[in-house]
Amino acid sequence: MTLIGFKIANENIEWPLLRDLWRLADSSDAYDIGWNFDHLYPIYGELSEPCLEGWTMLAALAEATDRVRLGCLVGATPYRAPAVLAKMASTIDIVSDGRLELGLGAGWHVAEADAYDLVLPPKLRDRFDLFDEACEIIIGLLRDEVTSFSGAHFTIKDAFLAPKGPQVPPPVTIGGTGPTRTLRAVAQFADWWNTPFWNPEEYEAKLEVLAAHCADVGRDPNTIRHSTHVFVLADQSVGEIADTLGSVIEAGIDQPIAYFQPPFGPEPMERAAEAISTLGVDHK
């Protein structure tokens, strides 16, 4: 079954318009999952430009929508204590009546981390050691009655997380294509792997790497579903959008994510919904 995602970056957009665009997607039968990002600074514009906080925004969107699933693609685990992030996730899952998609990532935006004095280890090895520990804690708290963990970066002891949301735990998406650590984390923890930038040749090569990591951890790679961003420009035609989405689906992607680019407005989302209607996607 193919699902269709959409994504609107939470930078340089005012809340009323952002909320209205999500409500438009929620009222359409074209879109299944909506995404924002977890950055405190813009990633496209100037660092001084406006950028809404992603998890607070998700909580508001959980109340503003009724149908679409929702998540951060992806949550930056170094920015919050893992137990706090797990508590946030369970609360949003409750508020949304079980619609949370739990995106997790190791973080990369050095400028925002330095500006806000957030922990983002400069060495990738240390960053991914921290990430692996955070994933174990977050998933354990969302899944188990009592969770204990002792690692180099985090320690929790006999920790409870209550109430849990309807999903125990919510499905986990890990984004990135790093062959050594990211794809191994996907094999260990993820229900979904997001390859952020679509490249068919790279995708095929990384499938082999992911399969090898799955073999190492004793997991069937077919239990991991795949998503990617499909950038949708404001002036693209219905036919162009349909061609791009269709080619990604044919390549084996389970969730193409229409990543809308500025200037934002309802017309591109409506054209994309029309394009999706021509693809014969089974949303059931």
Q: Domain segments of the chain: what residues?
A: 5-277
Condensed to tens digits (0 to 9), the pLDDT of residues 19-71 reads 999 999 999 999 999 999 999 999 988 999 999 999 999 999 999 999 999 99
Q: What percent of the chain has pLDDT over 90?
A: 96
Grade residue 231 by pLDDT with cuts at 50, 70 and 90. very high
Grade residue 282 by pLDDT with cuts at 50, 70 and 90. confident
Condensed to tens digits (0 to 9), the pLDDT of residues 86-132 reads 999 999 999 999 999 999 999 999 999 999 999 899 999 999 999 99
Q: Nearest 5°: phi and psi at 44?
A: -110, -40
Grade residue 284 by pLDDT with cuts at 50, 70 and 90. low
The third-level CATH classification (topology) of the domain covering 5-277 is: TIM Barrel (3.20.20)
Look up tokens 């794809």; give the residue.
183
DSSP 8-state secondary structure symbol assigned to residue 16: H
Query: Of the given ranges (64-68, 154-158, 221-225, 280-284), which has the lowest mean pLDDT?
Result: 280-284
Peptide bond into 200 cis (omega under 30): no
